[in-house]
Structure 1
Amino acid sequence: MARTPRRPAELAGRVFFARDAVRYGLLTKNDLRSSAWRRLFHNVYADSRLEIDHRTRCWAAAQWVFPPGCVIAGRSAVLLLGGASPGTQDPVEVLVQPTSRFGPLAGLSIHVAPWREDEVRLVDGLPVTTATRTCWDLACWLELVEAVALVDTLRHAGAVRLPELQTYLMQRRGERGWRKVTEVIGLSDAGAESRPESRLRVRLVRAGLPRPVTQHVITRAGRFVARVDLAWPEFKIAIEYDGLWHLDPEQFHRDRQRLNRILGDDWIVLHVTSKRMREDFDGFLTEVRAALTSRP
């Protein structure tokens, strides 16, 4: 019969520094290999019954892994500032000064670059790059479409506003990466409500189409009819991104009722799924262009 893993009350339901647990006799190294515990980072473990999200991983890294001079940055900073969350298993992104010797560590993605004191703030006690600095780093580190999608989430959450970003850009004008950051911020939109919709919008614009309006509200005689993901109101053309929520039959039914009301006002509504985005974006782009050219 398998032995029940030992779980001391002092460590139950907690994240802890394994070296201390062993030093004080709470666990042995062999105990740490049991199913009672889950390894988060080198020497950092958690009760395996805990639900560990990315925020918990950020806290654990800052508490027990970071040496002085480390700041949570990139996609991890986006989460802590109120934007989109990385996946639970995604590495915690860290920014370190060029003088630091903080080397590679499993579970962390380490970026090396200088920062100013006013580019860091405390969020729930954790050192995090400010929203403006985070947007700069995202634009420098990521592919353009993904960077815009994450900047959108920060703008939508109210973590940063366009004038603040423009002022920050002026302060860093001419620095390495400045042109790409300028493009990312120019393509961003506070109205975007999901990263897939942001990716779709940016790909359409980069393909040469007019910039669509995000979350456009359609009215009839001054009364609300519907709100669509993307639209060119002057052409009465809308795009709806069909995400996972459309697997809900009731939500799907409500959406189709809403779109029927739009079609009564002579709107063209085009639908796109994640599969179509991945496998046949050029075909969808052709359909959008055809719809736009069909309207005066």
Structure 2
Amino acid sequence: MPRDTSLTAFLSTPFTAAAAAERGHTLSVIRRWLREGEVRRVIQGVYVGNHVPDSPTLRARAVTALVPGAVICGRTAAWLWGITAAGREGRDGRPLPVEVIVPRAATPPRRSGCLGRSWLLGRGDTTTIAGLALTTPLRTAADIGRSVGSEDAVVILDAFLHLRQVTKRQLEGVVDRFAGYAGVRRLADAVRLADGRSANEDESRLRIALARAGVPPPEPGWRVMSAFGRPLHRFGMAWPLLRLGVDIADIADIADVADATGPPGEGPGAVARQLGHVGAWPAVRVRHRHIAGSTWRVVECGPHEPTRHRETVVAQILRELRGTAGAGAQAA
């Protein structure tokens, strides 16, 4: 299809049939573009050029093109705020629906790929990023706490706290604001469990699992410091008095080693990819480490293992806690 610069620009952002008609492109033209692979359907009634990669941002723009005045909210807004723990796909592997709050006079859209809300918005609840209207980090966190399952909500609130986009005090205040609203009890529980010292989804989910198992609460993100105040090591979580810590490996951490030790000619990160995707890294192992003059017993987990083999990891930590506490009692 011959394409001029203005047409390329038009196809580079989501458009509706009505918007295309204003430029003289009828529905039959759109159908031809679809057949020829020049464009694709983002959601029902909204299209984009096939050269544009899919992303939550693109789908958010598609919904706002369809529903003027809509405000992006929920998981979609969290993703736009950089909270990757909010997820891009559901458990079925399909993209999560774009969540929007529609103007009070509008009817929430009912179509695949979009989840419309009729929530009320207060002053200061919205902002604009790159031309997209969305809820603020605090309002986004509050809505997720009210509407998302408890564990996922805690993981997402942890991320907001870790990135310092909200504070614990602000979250506690928003619980009072939504008193009497649907889901406020769920929000209060998520806020109570949220802790921004957990740096990623694995650390958050493992901390929640340990709490449910009745394990004495650890110190998330515990740093062992030198005598001069220099950080020597960070544990995902630790019981400092017992000198017991948990390390959760990251694919990027393994890549640093793999790049230096991997087979020649396979490119950077080849070993890391094998460990991360084939499962060569053990679910959990225990070893001693000498840090700042003390011997720590360290439970080491492979990437994502606290999620994939949660029961195994929790059981190992429980064994180490009992063993370490027992050894301390005998020494006393």
TM-score (norm 1): 0.83
Paired position in structure 1 for 2:276: none
Paired position in structure 2 for 1:139: 145
Residue 226 of structure 1 aligns to a residue whose secondary structure is strand
- Counterparts in 2 of 1:17-166, with a 5 A limit? 17-19=15-17, 20-26=19-25, 28-33=29-34, 34-62=36-64, 64-68=65-69, 70-84=70-84, 86-87=87-88, 89-96=95-102, 100-166=106-172
Distance 1:168 1:16 in 2: 35
Q: Extract unaligned runs of 5+ from structure 2.
A: 90-94, 262-287
Quick check: 2:127–2:134 contact (8 Å CA) kept in 1?
A: yes
Q: Deviations over 1:251-288 (max 9, x none)?
A: 6989xxxx844497311111234664355422322221
Residue 266 of structure 1 aligns to a residue whose secondary structure is strand
Tell me: CA distance 1:50–1:267, structure 2 relative to 1, closer, same or farther (3 Å).
same
Tell me: CA distance 1:279–1:45, structure 2 relative to 1, closer, same or farther (3 Å).
closer
Distance 1:6 1:200 in 2: 54
Which has the higher mean CA deviation after the structures are superposed, 22-31 or 172-181? Answer: 22-31
Q: Extract unaligned runs of 5+ from structure 1.
A: none
Return the offset for 1:159: 1.5
Quick check: 1:54–1:86 contact (8 Å CA) kept in 2?
A: no
Quick check: 1:272–1:284 contact (8 Å CA) kept in 2?
A: yes
Paired position in structure 2 for 1:206: 212
Tell me: CA distance 1:172–1:263, structure 2 relative to 1, closer, same or farther (3 Å).
same
Paired position in structure 1 for 2:13: 15
Please say if 1:240 is aligned against 2:253.
no
Quick check: 1:197–1:241 contact (8 Å CA) kept in 2?
A: yes
Tell me: CA distance 1:275–1:216, structure 2 relative to 1, closer, same or farther (3 Å).
closer
Residue 267 of structure 1 aligns to a residue whose secondary structure is strand
Structure 1 runs, 4 residues or longer, greater than 4 Å off: 251-254
Which has the higher mean CA deviation after the structures are superposed, 245-254 or 281-290? Answer: 245-254
Identity across aligned pairs (percent)? 23
Which has the higher mean CA deviation after the structures are superposed, 98-107 or 75-84? Answer: 98-107
Return the offset for 1:214: 2.2
- Counterparts in 2 of 1:237-276, with a 5 A limit? 237-248=244-255, 250=257, 260-262=289-291, 265-273=294-302, 276=305
Return the offset for 1:165: 1.4
Which has the higher mean CA deviation after the structures are superposed, 145-154 or 186-195? Answer: 186-195
TM-score (norm 2): 0.75
Residue 288 (structure 1) aligned to one of 302, 314, 317 = 317
Q: Read off the aligned partner of 2:30 and give its amino acid letter.
A: K
| CA-atom RMSD in angstroms | 3.1
Distance 2:6 2:45 in 1: 17
Quick check: 1:15–1:44 contact (8 Å CA) kept in 2?
A: no
Paired position in structure 1 for 2:283: none
Quick check: 2:14–2:61 contact (8 Å CA) kept in 1?
A: no
Distance 2:304 2:163 in 1: 27
Q: Deviations over 1:197-222 (max 9, x none)?
A: 21111111122112222221112433
Tell me: CA distance 1:186–1:32, structure 2 relative to 1, closer, same or farther (3 Å).
same
Paired position in structure 2 for 1:179: 185
Residue 5 of structure 2 aligns to a residue whose secondary structure is coil
Residue 94 of structure 1 aligns to a residue whose secondary structure is strand
Distance 1:6 1:252 in 2: 45
Quick check: 1:139–1:147 contact (8 Å CA) kept in 2?
A: yes
Tell me: CA distance 1:83–1:179, structure 2 relative to 1, closer, same or farther (3 Å).
same
